A = this chain, B = another copy of it.
């Protein structure tokens, strides 16, 4: 299997980065090929803009998704995007590793999503959800946050974490076709002891070993909707 780890933490000595390194070691030891994009170390540019396109379909008016399509077709998209897209198309498993900032990804990772999930290749027209351009691949999400488990859930103060992350799990990863597995969550990380962090790393190791065989998250399926995307029946 080819595993592509995309990670985003501003502190190289952080616990979140230890989770990332543990994942890379685990997959390599299991005989898989592993590529890592450490977005902070790469100084990755997260800003989707006209500068991403060497040759413009329409030089006077930027429709970002249309220029993505054109840039990939003509091989004129920015080299940093092309490199990331190559790894994305190569992988069987995309492994996202990040600290939750505002119930979402850090901006540097949001920009990776904005720029690398190019229209035409990863989605387009009626090619989304189970028909998305990356269907057949699996997405694993490994995150850390400051909150505690009882703050999340149906009746909890923040509601279900999956609902807070819906834009990412369903609206992004599943949108482009990934089978999305239940995320691993390291809770309350800034406030716990080294022993407790050690216990989380052991849980993370166990999760890595079984994540691929968990029940994927369930979402509405395209085939429940007609060709105009109205519900069938």
Interface size on A, residues (CB 8 A): 57
A1 at the interface (CB under 8 A from B): no
Q: Which of B10, B60, B111, B114 contacts A48 (CB 8 A)?
A: B10
User: Contacts A63-B11, A166-B159 known; A107 to B114 CB distance under 8 Å?
Assistant: yes
A230 to B220, CA, bound (A): 31
A175 to B228, CA, bound (A): 36
Q: For residue A103, give the distance in angstroms from its CB to the closest CB of chain B.
A: 3
Q: Which residues of B contact A171 (CB under 8 A)?
A: 102-104, 158, 164
Closest to A167 in B: B103
Q: Which residues of B contact A151 (CB under 8 A)?
A: 229
Q: For residue A157, give the distance in angstroms from its CB to the closest CB of chain B.
A: 5
* Contact in complex: A40, B49 (CB < 8 Å): yes
Q: Which residues of B contact A49 (CB under 8 A)?
A: 10, 40
Number of copies of this protein chain within its complex: 2
Which chain A residues in 61-100 approach chain B with CB under 8 Å? 61-65
* Contact in complex: A107, B110 (CB < 8 Å): yes
A164 to B167, CA, bound (A): 5
Q: Which residues of B contact A201 (CB under 8 A)?
A: none
Q: For residue A130, give the distance in angstroms from its CB to the closest CB of chain B.
A: 11
A159 to B175, CA, bound (A): 13
* Contact in complex: A104, B108 (CB < 8 Å): no
Q: For residue A218, give the distance in angstroms from its CB to the closest CB of chain B.
A: 13
A contact set with B: CB distance below 8 Å = 10-11, 13-14, 40, 46-50, 60-65, 101-108, 110-111, 113-114, 117, 129, 146, 148, 150-151, 155-159, 163-168, 170-172, 175, 190, 220, 222, 225, 228-231
